[in-house]
Structures are given as C-alpha cells and as structure tokens.
Amino acid sequence: MPDLPNPFLTRMQQQLGDEYADFLASYDQPPDIGLRVNTLKLSPEEFKLISPFQLTPIPWVPSGFTVPTDSRPGKHPYHTAGLYYLQDPSAHAVAELLAPQPGERVLDLAAAPGGKATHLAALMAGEGLLVANDLNHRRAQVLAKNLERWGTRNTVVLNETPTRLVEHFGAYFDRVLVDAPCSGEGMFRKDLDARTEWMPKLVQSCAIRQDAILVDAAKLVRPGGTLAYATCTFAPEEDEDTIARFLDRQPEFELIDPPRFDGFSPGQPDWLSNDQNYPMQHTVRLWPHRAPGEGHFIAILKKNDQDGHKLSSSTPLLLDPLPPEAKHYYQQFTDKTLNWQPPEDHLSLMGSHLYQIPDDSPDLRGLKVIHWGWWLGTMKKKRFEPSHALGMGLHAGDVHNTLPLSLDDPAVAKYLRGEVLPSSGDDGWALVTIDGYPLGWGKRVQGRLKTHLPKWLRQF
C-alpha cells in the first residue's frame, strides 16, 4: 500500500466507518486501466472484433471497458490511430451523465488533457459546437493534439480564463462541464506527487478556487441548460460543500438526479458542514472499493429557464473568401488527393492554417484560439500541406491513395518510427491506414513513401 497522509486517513475512517477497511485494501490493488472506444470511428461491437485486449465492460458507459493491467494499450498502434482513449473508468461517468446531444453548444471549461472532451465529442457525433478550453497554454496544446488524434471536426480549442469566456460568450451554452482542479485524493493510488503534495490546506484552497470557477461557469449556461461539476477527490469541502455553496449563491440552479448504474453511490447530505437543505443524494460518488476506477464526485445541475434570463446571441463568425492563391493550392491538393471536399463556405485561412469552421460558429476574435475548428492543413510556399487532424478526421474511402497496412505488418512499426517505406502507386499524398483506419499521412515519390506522422506520435 502506498504511504498515505495521516490526516487523510483519519478523515476517511470517519467518513466511511465500516467500509474503511475495504477502502484501504483497494490501495493494495493495481490501478484499473480504462479504455473508451472512439465511436466517431467505430462502434464498441466493431472494436470487440479487433481488440487485442481482454475487455471488461464498465457499467456506466456503453463504449467503455477495463483492460488487464499488463496490456500496455498506450503503446498499441490502435491508440495512435485514435481508436480509443485511455481514461480512468470513474472519469468515464462524467460526460455520460452530462449527456450532450448532437447539434448542441457544449463547453468543456477545463478540458486538458482531453479525456472528457473526446468523450463529449463522441456523444455529439460530429454535430453542433464543442468548445474545449484550458487556462494553461502547455496543457491546451496537449488537449489540441488529443482532439486531433480523435478525429473531431466540430471542435474549437481555446486557451482562456473562465472570466474572459463569460465576457465573450455570456449565457451561450446548452451544456457546460467543470472538471474542477482539486486536491486529487482519487489519484493517490497511482500518483506519488498527488500524495506528497496533499495537505489539509490544499483542500481548503481548492474549494475556494472551485467556488470562483463555478461562479463564471454558471454565467455561461443558457436558461434551461445543464451544468456538470466533477472532481477526483473525496473531500466533502470540495464536493458536497462546494455544491451547497454554489446553490446558496445561484438559486436559479437545481440539482437533478441522474441515471444510476452499478457502482454509483449517492452523495452524502450528512457530510455538509452547515445545515443546508439540499438533496445531495442526487449527486454521485464513485469509490475505488465499490467500482472500477480511482474515484469521482459528480453533480448535474439544471438552470431555470424562467425569471427573465435570456439566451446570449453571440456574434456569428463572418468568413472572408479564401485568397486566390490559397484557394488554388488547396483545390490542387483536394483534386489529386480527396474523394470528398469540405464545403467552401465554411473554409477560413487563419494565418497560414486552413480550417473548416463549425456550423454557426461564434466570432472568436479577441480570444486566445489554438484551433478555430477542423484544422485541414497549412499553406506553404506554392503548396498546401495536409494536417494530421485532417487525416484523422477522414475515412479511408475519402482518399484516392492509401497505403493499407494490417496490424501484423512489419511496416506498421517502421511507419511509427518515421522510416521511409516502399510503396507503389501514384506520386503524392497517401493516407496510411491500419486495418482500414487512418494512422497518418505519407508522401509517395517514385515508389517510396516518406512518413508524415507528427513527431509527438512516433515510437522510437
């Protein structure tokens, strides 16, 4: 068992009573590995047919499974191909309970590294607008890469403060997810830093920060919209108490009772520090001794659509026509490479990057934008170079030239290392696929294909 902080153990014994021994025993077990299938690319049933891992279903998410701890799924080519995302099983429950619908406007306020954002994107099935934001620039870059690999077409990636988003959007979103920064008690089993950095003062400081984030998040939810609040900590000060303080300040919201699945436990009204009369049993707790995963707290709140609240009508993004030279070289690429083309009225050149802008995208000028939508590629001198995001958002049938590889082909490992491959066929861009799913681009010249897999994905 890892060395756990004594004040944490004392509090958990008080909270759990007779269950404390079982909770403590869970730390003697290896962390569960959760795998969520990318339903933008294939169904869970299709993945089962090709899965190299033993899959055990996670009760609360149809596309989620646990895999054996020795399976190393992060090193598998299917992971590089974006066929699944690795995420703690208890974290799978958050997007599933928020339940975004295709066509809605959805905001993931603190989205890095992208686990919940990729889940939201899959549930939205490519329709509507997903805004994935993170305050930390480095983490926002990681978020953008994970969404590129996921193959999303309708996602904007921002690097902004919650307050700036409120100023820009107002009450614009149908659903908002706050995956709040927390003291990380649910990470103790697998994260040494989380254990060594924890102290009671950290719990208190996180609670203060969570209150401030929720004040802004509430202003981003449209009347009648839904807010999800989640943490990976067990501290009531950051869970039930945070929600009670929020409801004290935001009476236009109410807790709703989400669907219940095996392994879900209710929140505890008895753990509130004051005598607030809120139905905390409508919140969800996941415990490592009761269900797969490291543990989570989730609250789903509905915003009243009465009392004069008005839906924000954010200014739409007006697109300038593509410059003639950019249009020429992009058309040259699509004519030679693609069987499918994005609609011209949704194309926009942002600097040297060409994007397909999501339908009804708001004007994002003035914000720190990482991606304005689906990044198609980059305008170079007298040519267009496709992005990895374009390749991962396509299907093999969308491209004239492919290099189809199977999982047992030695060329897969060579491609992932960035080596040049022998490849017969027409010169030009080709989409490398594994078992029919895009893996990345290559450029064929005189029977040799040069790898264009991004360096951050290569396996040396």
Model confidence pLDDT, tens digit, residues 119-153: 999 999 999 999 999 999 999 999 999 999 999 99
pLDDT, tens only, 208-246: 999 999 999 999 999 999 999 999 999 999 999 999 999
Structural domain includes residue 75: yes
Q: Which residues contact 226 (CB under 8 A, 6 or more apart)?
A: 98, 174, 175, 176, 256, 300, 301, 302, 303
Do 402 and 292 fall within a single domain?
A: no
Structural domain includes residue 373: no
What is the distance between the alpha carbons of residues 279 and 269, in angstroms, rounded to a whole number?
Answer: 7
Enumerate the active-site residues.
Answer: 232
CATH code of the domain in which 152 resides: 3.40.50.150
Structural domain includes residue 247: yes
Structural domain includes residue 372: no
Express as a percent the part of the chain with pLDDT over 90. Answer: 91
Q: Which residues contact 315 (CB under 8 A, 6 or more apart)?
A: 362, 363
pLDDT, tens only, 159-218: 999 999 999 999 999 999 999 999 999 999 999 899 999 999 999 999 999 999 999 999
Give me the residues paired with residue 433 across strands: 404, 438
Tokens encoding 43: 């169904």
Q: Which of 282, 303, 324 is the last residue in one of the domains?
A: 303
pLDDT, tens only, 37-69: 999 999 999 999 999 999 999 999 999 999 999
Mean pLDDT, residues 284-310: 88
Q: Which residues contact 31 (CB under 8 A, 6 or more apart)?
A: 69, 88, 189, 190, 294
Range of the structural domain that residue 109 is part of: 6-303
Quickly list H helices, 87-127.
Answer: 92-98, 115-124
Do 265 and 405 fall within a single domain?
A: no
Do 27 and 141 fall within a single domain?
A: yes
DSSP H or E run through 193 = helix 192-197
Q: Which residues contact 417 (CB under 8 A, 6 or more apart)?
A: 458, 459, 460
What is the distance between the alpha carbons of residues 250 and 244, in angstroms, rounded to a whole number?
Answer: 10
Domain count, the chain: 2
Structural domain includes residue 180: yes
pLDDT, tens only, 252-277: 999 999 999 999 999 999 999 887 88
Asked if 118 and 392 touch (Cβ cutoff 8 Å), the reply is no
